[in-house]
Structure formats: C-alpha cells, structure tokens
Structure 1
Amino acid sequence: MLVKAGRTKIRYAGELLTDDGTRVAVRAPWAGSGVRDFGFVRFEPGDVFTEYYWRDRWYAVKEVRSATGALKGWYCDVTRPAARSGPELVVEDLDLDLWVSADGTDVRRLDEDEFADSGLAESDPGAARAALAALDELESLARGDGFTALLA
C-alpha cells in the first residue's frame, strides 16, 4: 500500500519474492488503470514491476519491464522506510521521484515542485532532509551504474 499525506494513494496485490529483514522485493503487474504516458516512458497493462523496498532507506526502486520482458527502466520513489505488517507492506510517498532509462542515458529528477509544495520542509525538517539526501543518493547510483549492486 502506498500512502501519501496520511491517505492511501494506491493499494495492489503483489507476489513476495524475498524479505531478508532489511530489503523486501515484490513483483506486481502495473496497477494503474489504462496507460500512463509520462512522455519519457509509458506504463501500460501487461507491464511488470519488480519492486525493492528497504526498512532502513528512504526510497523504493521499481524495475519496469514490458509484457514481453523488455526492460523499460527504473522508477524510484522517495519514501519513508518501508514497514511490513503481516502480508501488507506500507510505504509513505514523499513526492520526489527519479526515472532511469534502461540504457542509463536518461536520468531525471521528478516532482521536485510537488515536494516543495508539500510543506514537509516546515512540518518535518528531518524527513525533508532525508528525502532530499535519498534523491541525491539514487541519482548518484544511477549515474555511477550503481543500480546493479543495489538490486543484486
């Protein structure tokens, strides 16, 4: 379940792949309705997301593949650390995102305006600092080819 500003943003079923106590990996089909075209990537029915969540990191990384298995890239959400309660995994979205294309040539920071408008810097300055540091870390990993080690 993805929570934003205290409300459930989206809930969907996924297959638990691993949980080592720190990192949780799940596989789930595209949970949106229809096609979501961002301009630089399209999420569409049949796409499969392998999602990695950490209990000690402020982000989640979602590997996105087409229905044929072709890698589209990685969509990264800046979140509070994940919490798992029984079969449910809960993460709180903090608005910042990063997109990394399959070939690594397109690395984009997303939704920085939404983050600024969220008021998190005023309401929870520590979380805001952690969120910005997480986005910087993700971008550094993406530009330095660090996703392979992160997701191994």
Structure 2
Amino acid sequence: MPRAGLSAGSSKVDVAIDLGNPLLNRTVDGFLKIGAVGAFRVAAEDAFDCLQSGSVSKRKLEKTLEKMCKEGAYWGAVAGVYVGMEYGVERVRGEYDWKNALIGGIASGALISAASNNKGNKIAKDAITGGAIATAIEFINYLT
C-alpha cells in the first residue's frame, strides 16, 4: 500500500493509499516515490544553476516547476512499470527471488523502449540494460 510520511520533531504525519489491489498499490507507490526523486533532482540542479548565475526570476521558477513535473512523471512512470512488472512476474512464478527483478527489468526496458518509438536492436539493448540494472540492484540489496 502506498505510504508517505512527514515528520518534524516529535510530530509525524503518515498517509496511506489503498487502491484495493496489491499490484496497483505497489505500482502507485513506485510511481510516487521515484517520481518525487526525479522532481527533486531537477529542483536541486536548477537551484544550483541559480546560485551559480546569482539570479532568480519568475520565468526560471516557472520553467523549473514545468521540468519538475515532466521529470517526476517520467521517472515515476518508469518505476511504476518496473514495479508492476516485477510484482506480476512474482505472482505468476509464485516465488520471490532475483529472477523476478531480471524478468521485470527486461520486460520494462523493452516496453519503455518500444513506447519511445525505438526499433529492433535498440529495444533489445534497452531490455538487456533494464534486466542488468534491476538484477544488480537486487543483489546489492541482498548484500546490505
């Protein structure tokens, strides 16, 4: 179930969203968490650029907000697709192991690449990359 929390001192606010389906819950959770990472990455980069140039304008803030929304949506969509794929593979296989990450990463990489109008070899390369990254992350998580 997607959860979000905010704490300040001893006060804590915790929010949970239950969509009634574990697949949807995990997909939305991945979208929200990684989407926020993408949005904050843009905010940090643009804040650095403003500090470097020494100026801030309303136009720069508007462009930053627009970029934050686009990047957050893109990163969130990619994460949501991957999390949904991995969970689907886990349900079909009936096992929880690194192979789910591999298959989910391959499927996600291929799907996202194909949706980006890539062709043939590029889709295959993106599928391999998605599988490799997902599997590496799974192994790193296992080691820590």
Instruction: Please confirm whether the aligned pair reaches a TM-score higher than 0.5, indicating the same fold.
Output: no
Q: Which has the higher strand share?
A: 1
Structure possessing the higher radius of gyration over alpha carbons: 2
TM-score by length of 1: 0.29
TM-score by length of 2: 0.30
Q: Which has the higher helix share?
A: 2
Question: Which one has more relative contact order, counting CA pairs under 8 Å at least 6 apart?
Answer: 2
